[in-house]
Amino acid sequence: MNHTEPFNSISSQFEHFYKKSFDEFFVYTLTRTGNRETAMDICQESFTRLWNELHAGKKIDNLHGFFYRILGNKIIDFYRKKKTLSLDELREQGYEPTLSEHADTTDEIKTIVKKLEKLPETYRDIVIMRFITELSIAEISSRTGLSENVISVRLHRGKLLAQEILQSNWDEYQQ
C-alpha cells in the first residue's frame, strides 16, 4: 500500500481550495474584524484547522460551508478574547478599523462599514458575502448550508435594515 497517495490527494485538495478561496475568505474576515493582521491570523488558523481535519480523515461534504463554520467560530473566539475592550472604547482611544493597510478609503466607506456592524449577525454575514465579497445567492447558499430562499429573504431584510441604518445616519448628517 502506498502511504503517500492519500496524503497527496488531501494535500492537492487543500492546496486547490486554498488557492481558489483564500482571497474571498480574507476579505470576509477583514470586513468582520476591521484589522488586516487579525484577519490574516484568523484565516491562517482556520486553514490550519481545515488541514488538520482533512488530514485526520474527516469526511466533509461541503468544504466551503465547513470552512465558513470554522472561520466564523474563529472570529467569535477572537471577539470573546478581546471582550475586555469594546469597539467604542477602542475608537475613543483613536483606533479606527481599516479595510486595508494601503487602502485610501473615504469617510463614507468607513461610515458604511461601521453601520453594517449594527446589523444583526444573521443578516450582516449574508449582506457582507453578497455585497463585499460579491458572492451569488447560490454561492452563499452553498457556503452556509441554507436554502437559496432563506438567503434571499435574509438578504432582502438585511438590505432594508441597512438602508434604515444608513438613512438615519444621513438624516443626522443633514442636521
Query: What CA–CA distance (Å, rounded) separates 68 from 3?
Result: 30
Cα dihedral 145, 146, 147, 152 in deg (nearest 10): -130
pLDDT of residue 57: 86
What is the residue-averaged pLDDT of the chain? Answer: 77
pLDDT of residue 28: 86
> Hey, what's the cell of 87?
469597539
128, 28 in Cβ contact below 8 A? yes
Q: What is the mean pLDDT of residues 29-55?
A: 89
Percent of the chain at pLDDT > 70 equals 73
Asked whether the predicted pLDDT for residue 47 surpasses 90, the reply is yes
pLDDT digits (tens, 9 = 90+) for 88-144: 565 666 655 554 433 444 455 566 667 777 888 888 888 888 877 778 888 888 888
Query: What CA–CA distance (Å, rounded) separates 100 from 97?
Result: 9
pLDDT digits (tens, 9 = 90+) for 107-118: 555 666 677 778
pLDDT of residue 96: 59
What domains, with CATH codes, occur in the chain?
1-99 (1.10.1740.10), 106-175 (1.10.10.10)
Asked whether the predicted pLDDT for residue 84 surpasses 60, the reply is no
Instruction: Return the exposure string of 34-47: e unless at least 16 CB atoms fall within 10 Å of the residue's CB, then b.
Output: bbbebbeebbeebb
Query: What CA–CA distance (Å, rounded) separates 126 from 121?
Result: 8
CA distances from 55 to 7, 12, 138 (A): 7, 12, 29
Q: Which pTM value belongs to this model?
A: 0.55
Amino acid identity of residue 79, one-letter, is: Y
- The count of other CB atoms within 10 Å of the CB of residue 70 is 18
pLDDT of residue 102: 37
pLDDT digits (tens, 9 = 90+) for 6-17: 456 888 888 999
Name the pLDDT band for 5 (thresholds 50, 70, 90). very low
Q: Which residues contact 79 (CB under 8 A, 6 or more apart)?
A: none
Asked whether the predicted pLDDT for residue 42 surpasses 90, the reply is yes
Q: Which residues contact 84 (CB under 8 A, 6 or more apart)?
A: none
